[in-house]
Amino acid sequence: MAQFEIVGEAGIDEVGAVKRALARVTKPISFPMAMAVETAPQPSPVVSTIGAPQGVSVMPSQVLTIMRRMLAPVPSTAIGAGLTADIVFRPQRRMRIERLVLNSSVTPPTATINEIRIGARSMYANAGAVPIGVFGNTSTDTVLRGYTCDPGMDVTLTVNVPGLAAETITGCIIGETLDD
C-alpha cells in the first residue's frame, strides 16, 4: 500500500477524508482542500494530473531521467523535377521531434514539404505545402513541439519538387531522447 503525505492547508478532518479517499482509488484523484503526494524512496516527485478531477493532484515519486538532444539524419534523397517523393527514416531511439533542418542542392530551392508524419500522425495542423526554406539551417524560430517517435517508427517527409530541375534533399531532425 502506498504512503501519502498531505501538502497544503487542510484541517485534521479534511486530512482524514483525503487519506480515506486515496486508500480507495487506483488512479490520480484530487480534492480542493489539499494535495496528496505519494512518498517513496525515489527522489523528485512528478505532478500527475491525467484523469484527475479539478483540485489537488496525486504526485507519484519517480526517478529522474536524463534527456539528451540528439540528431536523426534524413537520408540524402534525389527527387526529379515535377515529382513528389516520401523520404522515410526510422530513429533508433525514442525521441521527441523539436527541429527539422533541411537542405536542397538547388539555390534557390524550389522544393516544398507537403507533410511531416510521425508514424501515422501528421505534424501539420492543416493540409498544405511549406517551402523547404522554412526548415533551412539559417531559419530562426522554427522549433517544433512534435510527437514522440518510438524506436523503429517511421518518420515520413513528403517532398514535392515543382521546379524544372531535380533536387537532392538532405538534413536531420533534432530532438530529445532518453539517456540509456
**In this structure, which CATH number among 3.40.190.10, 3.50.50.60, 3.90.850.10, 2.60.120.730 belongs to the domain 67-178?**
2.60.120.730
DSSP string, 129-155: -EEGGGGSTT--S------EE-TT--E
Buried b (16+ CB within 10 A) or exposed e, 117-130: bbeeeebeeeeebe
Which pLDDT does position 155 carry in this prediction?
94
Q: What is the pLDDT of residues 122-176, one digit of tens each?
A: 999 999 999 999 998 888 888 888 888 999 899 999 999 998 889 999 999 999 9
- How many whole angstroms separate alpha carbon 39 and alpha carbon 62? 10
Instruction: Indicate whether 63 pLDDT > 60.
Output: no
The whole-number pLDDT of residue 163 equals 83
State whether residue 54 is helix, strand or coil. coil
Give tens-digit pLDDT for 36-53: 444 444 444 444 445 555
Domain boundaries, the chain: 3-59, 67-178
